[in-house]
Amino acid sequence: MNKKIILITGSAGLIGSSCVQYYCEKNFLVVGIDNDMRSIFFGADGSTNLSKKNLQKKYENYTHLNIDIRNTKEIFKIFEKYVPSAIIHCAAQPSHDLAAKIPFEDFTVNANGTLNLLEATRKICKYSPFIFLSTNKVYGDKPNFLELEEKDLRWEFKDQYYFNGINENFGVDQTKHSLFGCSKLSADLIVQEYGKYFNMNTVCLRGGCLTGSNHSGVEFHGFLSYLIKCFVYDVEYKVFGYKGKQVRDNIDSSDVASFTNSFINSPSSGEVYNIGGGRKNSISILEAINYLQENYKKKMRWTYVNENRIGDHICYYSDLSKIKKDYPDWKLNRNLDIIIESIYESWKKKIVQV
């Protein structure tokens, strides 16, 4: 095979499918691993099966493998057969709420599965860039202990040091993470360690709210996508605590995909970056509800629950200073208006298809 092969786990999910599209259109050979565990975690509404079928139909240079990343023997077989020139690891159990109900599945998928992929990379294609989609939940609920300022519709960091958001020097221990945060932090640390200890080209991308039109938003995962889904379908949305003023930064999956290419072209060892929409693409739940109602001339059904989710962030947006400094040619191409419009239109089309 003369063409370079990109191996993508979680290839039918939000970030994975965007990466498949990105590299297939660049004429790479793309091998995807995805066994639709989202349907087990979240039910039929969370399934990625349609996404998988669409990718297989659209791209002849895409090969899909229905493999569990916890299966060490199968993972090594895949690496030995394809010898990927880069690995983009997106597969995960992604919900911090659900993790408490399925702690073994959560940890083995997120931590053990990552170890399988790292070891296969080390043994078979050591210098192939390894990109891990981590999470801002590695910081636990420590951002909640920063001094906050309450605005009419959102919370803001009061300390000007955090004006641009949370940076990579923020602590990760002595805080409540959720079990999901712990399993992802375990994976995050071992990805760093393989980079530094074995001199491999690894990077952890600690994502804010990764979203986009292909996001199968559900109540336990996918803030903006699920909120817009409820709005379009006229389903009651539950706001959990913090007066509905909790803030998230949103980045479109296509912008994450483009960064993976930046790293592959200029890799480093054991690096960590916060990646998200940053302050400019941040929005609170109340702001999002108001935005939808004003722009689409329709009332949203929602109720307020006093109790917040355990370990949930009150205010979080990513400081992008480091990633922009190291990769100045990379930028966010999709602002919040475009992101919301694309998600809204995607849910409308899905209604038409029903």
Amino acid identity at 130: F
Q: Count the neighbouring beta carbons within 10 Å of the beta carbon of residue 151.
A: 13
Q: Find residue 256's DSSP bridge partners.
A: none
On whether the 5-353 domain is CATH 3.40.50.720, my answer is yes
pLDDT in tens, 180-227: 999 999 999 999 999 999 999 999 999 989 999 988 777 866 789 999
Q: What is the pLDDT of residue 2?
A: 59
Instruction: Identify the weakest region by mean pLDDT among 27-31, 211-215, 255-259, 342-346.
Output: 211-215
Q: Report how far residue 107's alpha carbon sits from residue 180's, in angstroms, rounded to the nearest whole number.
A: 8
Three-state SS annotation for the chain: CCCCEEEEECCCCHHHHHHHHHHHCCCCEEEEECCCHHHHHHCHHHCCHHHHHHHHHHCCCEEEECCCCCCHHHHHHHHHHHCCCEEEECCCCCCHHHHCCCHHHHHHHHHHHHHHHHHHHHHHCCCCCEEEEEEHHHHCCHHHHCCEEECCCCEEECCHHHCCCECCCCCCCCCCCCHHHHHHHHHHHHHHHHHHHCCCCEEEEEECEEECCCCCCECCECHHHHHHHHHHHCCCEEEECHHHCCEEEEEEHHHHHHHHHHHHHCCCCCEEEEECCCHHHEEEHHHHHHHHHHHHCCCCCEEEECCCCCCCCCECCECCHHHHHHCCCCCCCCCHHHHHHHHHHHHHHHHHHC
Q: If you average pLDDT over residues 105-123, what whole number do you get?
A: 98
- pLDDT-derived band at 94, boundaries 50, 70, 90: confident
pLDDT in tens, 24-54: 999 999 999 999 988 888 888 778 898 999 9
Domain boundary assignment for the chain:
5-353
- pLDDT-derived band at 70, boundaries 50, 70, 90: very high
pLDDT in tens, 117-128: 999 999 999 999
Residue that wins the pLDDT comparison between 47 and 234? 234
pLDDT in tens, 133-164: 999 999 999 999 999 999 999 999 999 999 99
Is the whole-model pTM more than 0.85? yes
